[in-house]
Amino acid sequence: MTTKTEAGIEQRIREAIIRALRVPGVDSSTPLQMGSTPGWDSMGHMSVVMEIEKEFGVRLPPYRLPELVDIPSIAKTLETTSPQGRFN
C-alpha cells in the first residue's frame, strides 16, 4: 500500500522527469519509463539523473544509475541513498 509520503515522493520524481525530458502533454496516469517515454533513452537518461539529484539534493553513485529505469526504481534507490550519496 502506498503511503502519503511515498505518493509525494513519486509525484516529485514524476515532475523532475517531465522537467528533464521536457515531455509535453503528460498527465499523472501516463507511465514514465526508460525506453518507452519519448526522449528517455541513453542520452536523456543523464538529464533525468541530474534533475532527480537536484530535486532531492542527493548524489547518486555511478553504479546505481543503470537501475533507474522508472519511478518505482528511482524511489527505491532514493530510499537507500543519503544526501552525500554514500552507501547504506
Partner 1 sequence: MLLNSTGASVQLASSIDPHVLLGLAIAVAVSIFISVVPQTQRPNITIVALLAAIAYYRWAFLGFAVVAGIAYLALRYLSGHTDGAKRWNWACGALVLLTAVFGAGRIWHWDAPVGSAGPIPLVLYGLDMWLMLRLVTLFWEVGSGTVAAPSLTQYVLWVCLPFTIGGPLLRFSEMPETVRPDRSLWRSRGWWAQIARSSALLTAGFAATLFPLAIPAHWPHAHVIKSAVLTFFAGPFGFYFSTAGYFGLMEQLARPSGFGLQPSFCHPFGRENISVFWMNWNRTATFVFRDYLFYNRWGRQNYNVYFNILLLFTLVGFWHAANAYWVLWGILNGLLFCTFLLWRRYTAAAKHLPLRGTPIAKTAARALTYLSVCMCWYLPSKVLQQLAIAI
The site for partner 1 (CB under 8 A) is made up of 41-43, 45-46, 49-50, 61-66, 86-88
| Rounded distance between C-alpha atoms, residue 51 and residue 88, angstroms | 22
Residue 34 cell numbers, joined: 526508460
State the minimum distance, in angstroms, from the CB of residue 71 to partner 1.
19
Residue 15 cell numbers, joined: 515532475
Report the residue number, 7 or 46, with the smaller CB distance to partner 1: 46
Residue 25 cell numbers, joined: 502533454
Task: Considering only the C-alpha atoms of the chain, give the largest distance between any 2 of them, rounded to a whole number of Å.
Answer: 37
Report the residue number, 8 or 66, with the smaller CB distance to partner 1: 66
State the minimum distance, in angstroms, from the CB of residue 68 to partner 1.
10
